[in-house]
Structure 1
Amino acid sequence: MPDSLTEGVVAFLHHLSAERRQSPHTCQGYRRDLTRLMHWACEQSPPIDQWSMLTVADVRRYAATLNREGLSGRSIARALSAIRRFYDYLIRENRARSNPALDVRAPKSGRRLPVAADADQLGHLLDATPDDPLEVRDLAMFELFYSSGLRLSELTGLDLVHLDLPDSEVRVRGKGNRERVLPVGRKAAKALREWLALRPALADAGENALFVSRRGQRLSTRSVQQRLARWGLHHGADQHLHPHMLRHSFASHLLESSGDLRAVQELLGHADIATTQVYTHLDFQHLARVYDNAHPRARRRKGLTSEKGPVPGDSL
C-alpha cells in the first residue's frame, strides 16, 4: 500500500495511543478497520492513493461492499465510525478538507440481546470446589466477574493495590479511562482471600497483577477466556461460558431484583444509559415468562384447543 495512505493511519494510531490514551484493544480495532479501507481503496480503478481523494460516494460504495461481504449493520456502523474519527484527525492536521463519512449511515440490523446465564445454574457452577491452585485463582476471577460486573480488560488490568477486601471494594479503570469503585460480594471476597493466600507461590518477584499465570506474570485476556470455557465444560454447563456472559448475568440479575436501571448503569460503567437499557429487554423477557406460567388467562390448558389450533388467550 502507498506510503501516502499508511503514513496517515500510523500517525492517527499514535495520536490515539499517546495523546488520547486509548487502550491497545481500541487501537487494534481502528487499525483493523482502516487497514481494510486501505486495501479497498487500492483495489479501485483508478486506485485511491491519497486520503484527500476519498469522496462521500466512495464511502457509500465501501459500505455497500462490506454489506455484500456479509458484515452486520453493527460492524459496518463501527467501520464508518472509525472513518469519521480518522477524518476528524486528518482535518485537524490539515491532511484533508472534509469528512466523507459524515452523513453515511450503515444499514439497520436487529439488535442482539446479550446472553445471560440462569441464576441457579450459575450458582451451581460457582459453588464447585477447585482442584488445584490455578482453579482457586479461576474461581476467584469468576466470582469477581459475577459479583462486580467487570469487563474482561478491567479484570486483567487489576493490580493488588486496587483490591480493598476489608471494605469489600475493588477499584477499576474502564472505558475512556474512567475510574469507578465497585462492591465485592461475600462469596467473591472469600474466593479472593483463598487465592491471595496461594498467589505468592506463583507470582514473580515485583509482579503487581492481582491474577497471574502459572509462569508468574499477568494473566492475558485470552487465558481468562480459555479458563472460563474450561471451567464450564468441566462442571457441566449447558452453554458456552465467557466473561461477557458473567457481566451480562450480573446486570440482568441485578435489574430483575432491584429494577434500578440508573444503579446498574453506574455499576457497569456505561457513559450513556441507552447502553444499559438493553437489559430492560432481558428483564421483560423474564417477566413475560412469569406471566405466561402464572396468569390464569395465559396458562396453556390441556384439552382446550379447537380445530383451528389453541384457544385464544392460552399463551402470551
Structure 2
Amino acid sequence: MSAPVDVTELAEPLAAPLSAFLVHLASEKRHSPRTCDSYQRDLNRFAAWLSGRDMTDWASITGHDLRRYVAWLSQQGLNGRSIARHLSAIRRFYQYLLREKRVRDNPALDIRAPKSGRRLPKVADVDQLNHLLDANPDDPLEVRDLSMFELMYSCGLRLSELAGLDLESIDARNGEARVLGKGGKERILPVGRKALQALSAWLAVRPGLAPESEPALFVSQRGGRLSNRSIQARLSRWGMAKGAEQRLHPHMLRHSFASHLLESSGDLRAVQELLGHADIATTQIYTHLDFQHLARVYDQSHPRARRRGGPEAEDGQ
C-alpha cells in the first residue's frame, strides 16, 4: 500500500524525501488515504513555496523561513486554524526527517500560527425565545421539555449540568438550583418565576413516568435519567414544532441567557459567576455580542447613520 504522490514539479532534493514520507504514513503508520492526502496537499504547498524561492534543501530551512511562510499563508487568506494544520504537517515531516538522519533539527518546533478570530456564539432573539417558551405543551413529555428549556434559559445551564440535576438539586421554596459544573465545582443559582412554574407543572406529572427510586429531575419515557443527546433532540423538535426561526440547541439557550443578562445589567462579573466561568476572559465574548446588538440598533435608528444601499443612499439624500 502506498500513498499517491504528485511531486513531479518539485526539485529532486525536495521531492524524494517528501515522497518517502508519504509512503511511510500510508504503509508504516497505516494512516487513511484521506489523512495521507491532507498531509500531501499541505506539504506540497510548502515545497512549492520553497521551490519558488530557490530553496531546495530540507536541511537548510530555518525558523525564519517558516515564519515567512506563515506570513505568506496568512496573506493568501488562510485563518489561524488552517495555518496551524499546515505547521503540524511540517512538524511531523521534520520528525520523520530527523529519524532518517536527513536533517539535524526541526525548525517548526517553536513556530506558532496566528490566533484565529474567536467565533461569536449564536444567540436567540428575546422575542423569539418568549414566543417559544410561552407555547403550551401538548403532552407530559412536552411539559418536561418546557420545564427543561425554561430552566436552562433561566439559569444559563450547560447541557451536562441540566442532565445531571437531581430532584434534590431544586429548592423551589427559595427559588434556587444547586448545580455541579466543570471540575466538580458547585454553584447556587437563582431560578426565575417562569421556570419555577414550569418545574411545578413537570413535577406534577413526573410520577407517571419515573419510579420513586429515580433521583434524576428529568427522566425519559422509560423512567431513567434523560441523556444529553435526548435533550438536544427534544429541544430541536420543540423549536420546529413551535415555529422557531432558527435551529435551537442547548448551548444557544446558555448563550442567550448570558447575552440578554449582560445587555440588561452590564455586570460582567455577575454573569461570570452565574455561568460558572473560572476566567472572566471567557465571559468577555458576550461583551462583543452586546456591542453588535448596540451597533445594529444605532445603524437602524440614528438619523445620521444611513445604511448602505438604503433608499436614502440611492436617492442621494
Give the TM-score normalised by the residue count of structure 2: 0.66
Report if the CA contact (8 A) 2:163-2:227 is conserved.
yes
Alignment-mate amino acid for residue 261 of structure 1? L
Cα separation, 1, equivalents of 2:217 and 2:153: 17
Deviations 1:140-197 (A, max 9, x none): 0000010000000000011111111101000111111111111100000000011011
Report if the CA contact (8 A) 2:236-2:247 is conserved.
yes
> Which residue number corresponds to residue 123 of structure 1?
130
> Which residue number corresponds to residue 170 of structure 2?
163
> Which residue number corresponds to residue 284 of structure 2?
277
Alignment partner of 1:213: what SS?
Answer: coil
How far residue 47 of structure 1 moved from its aligned partner, in angstroms, is 5.2
Alignment of structure 1 residues 146-185 onto 2, 5 Å: 146-185=153-192
Gap change, CA 1:113 and 1:303, over 3 Å in 2: closer
Cα separation, 2, equivalents of 1:105 and 1:284: 30
How far residue 106 of structure 1 moved from its aligned partner, in angstroms, is 4.5
How far residue 75 of structure 1 moved from its aligned partner, in angstroms, is 9.6
Matched, 1:114 2:121: yes
> Which residue number corresponds to residue 208 of structure 2?
201
Please list every run of 5 or more consecutive structure 1 residues that lacks an aligned counterpart in the other structure: 1-39, 50-60, 81-100, 312-316
Alignment-mate amino acid for residue 153 of structure 1? S
How far residue 242 of structure 1 moved from its aligned partner, in angstroms, is 0.4
Cα separation, 1, equivalents of 2:220 and 2:84: 37
Gap change, CA 1:43 and 1:163, over 3 Å in 2: farther
Matched residues, number = 237
Instruction: State the structure with more CA Rg.
Output: 2
Alignment of structure 1 residues 209-288 onto 2, 5 Å: 209-288=216-295
- Root-mean-square deviation over aligned CA pairs: 3.6
Report if the CA contact (8 A) 1:41-1:48 is conserved.
no
Deviations 1:188-218 (A, max 9, x none): 0000011011111101341110000000000
How far residue 259 of structure 1 moved from its aligned partner, in angstroms, is 0.5
How far residue 77 of structure 1 moved from its aligned partner, in angstroms, is 7.6
Gap change, CA 1:229 and 1:43, over 3 Å in 2: farther
Please list every run of 5 or more consecutive structure 2 residues that lacks an aligned counterpart in the other structure: 1-20, 31-38, 47-77, 88-107
Cα separation, 2, equivalents of 1:224 and 1:195: 15
Gap change, CA 1:74 and 1:201, over 3 Å in 2: farther
Cα separation, 1, equivalents of 2:109 and 2:180: 31
Cα separation, 1, equivalents of 2:160 and 2:212: 23
How far residue 296 of structure 1 moved from its aligned partner, in angstroms, is 1.9
Gap change, CA 1:140 and 1:41, over 3 Å in 2: farther
> Which residue number corresponds to residue 139 of structure 1?
146
Report if the CA contact (8 A) 2:306-2:312 is conserved.
no
Gap change, CA 1:200 and 1:45, over 3 Å in 2: closer
Alignment-mate amino acid for residue 203 of structure 2? L
How far residue 105 of structure 1 moved from its aligned partner, in angstroms, is 3.4
Gap change, CA 1:263 and 1:296, over 3 Å in 2: same
Alignment partner of 1:181: what SS?
Answer: strand
Cα separation, 1, equivalents of 2:129 and 2:219: 24
Alignment partner of 2:179: what SS?
Answer: strand
> Which residue number corresponds to residue 305 of structure 2?
298
Gap change, CA 1:300 and 1:179, over 3 Å in 2: same
Alignment partner of 2:291: what SS?
Answer: helix
Alignment-mate amino acid for residue 151 of structure 1? R
Gap change, CA 1:43 and 1:230, over 3 Å in 2: farther
Cα separation, 1, equivalents of 2:148 and 2:216: 13
Alignment partner of 2:135: what SS?
Answer: coil
Cα separation, 2, equivalents of 1:254 and 1:162: 23
Deviations 1:15-45 (A, max 9, x none): xxxxxxxxxxxxxxxxxxxxxxxxx999648
Deviations 1:87-145 (A, max 9, x none): xxxxxxxxxxxxxx985635532311000000001000000000000000000000001
Alignment partner of 2:165: what SS?
Answer: coil
Cα separation, 1, equivalents of 2:200 and 2:188: 19
